[in-house]
Structure 1
């Protein structure tokens, strides 16, 4: 069975492919319908992140609770986790932190540090992207006066967002591996 990070690396390719498709049809001026590819790319990138978070907490809970798997306690915890994951949408920094603190007693956000990012900057960036994803999904802008609507996300912003989300998943995975399995 593929790991959470393996699934993430496969899923994030959808966002990268949408960006590549945008690039392939982009001309000056770009077609009016090209904007949808960038919005979809942002949605797919953050969906890959959401799925990673969900898969990773389940993966770690399976390891943590292997000794009580099938017991009343093990079944209770897994049912509660599954209920919570059904309501786990828009994985902001606070929601992600709460999930990992509640189930694994670990603040994952403290591990969100790499290159030019501190945990605070990573949290702010993630929250901004989550908000933008909400706009991309629920607030498609219509043209006014035959002028195209302003683009929600620029091409270079999408490229940076995809790179950020990939780095965030890698930092999270590394942090969790280091702190959850010290006794290996």
Structure 2
């Protein structure tokens, strides 16, 4: 569902009227206006799923959610490790510490992902542990790296329900951050 130019204009004006009048009917006019003006209808599907069940989640949005899920598990798992296991993780690669937390997306080339991350965390209140850093600029391409890491994480995801990741699992995931040509 993509609104026409006239529909965008109408919705934008209605949102501005609603905001000006202070109408509180359960819909956030600023969020609705942002979603419509940026052609991010997925936002409405996530914010109001009962109202917009037909709106599907684009692949990029699902990917950003998966990346946040992965880093949530990595962070929680690392926090629970013994000092010995933390040391094992830390020395597992020369940049292990850099891959233990969400570094953001490249502001020059991955702006769409950065915008999705910001909207997901700051506007939709998802993945609250990433508040304030969701739109972090990594200053280097991240999507490919996160995709490799997520492939490793996804293969173990069903086995880590109701528990944290152990050191070996964390090492397996963060080792994928390094491009195969550089290992």
> Hey, which of these two has a bigger chunk of helix by percent?
1
Q: TM-score, normalised by structure 2?
A: 0.27
Q: Relative contact order (C-alpha < 8 Å, sep 6+): which is higher?
A: 1
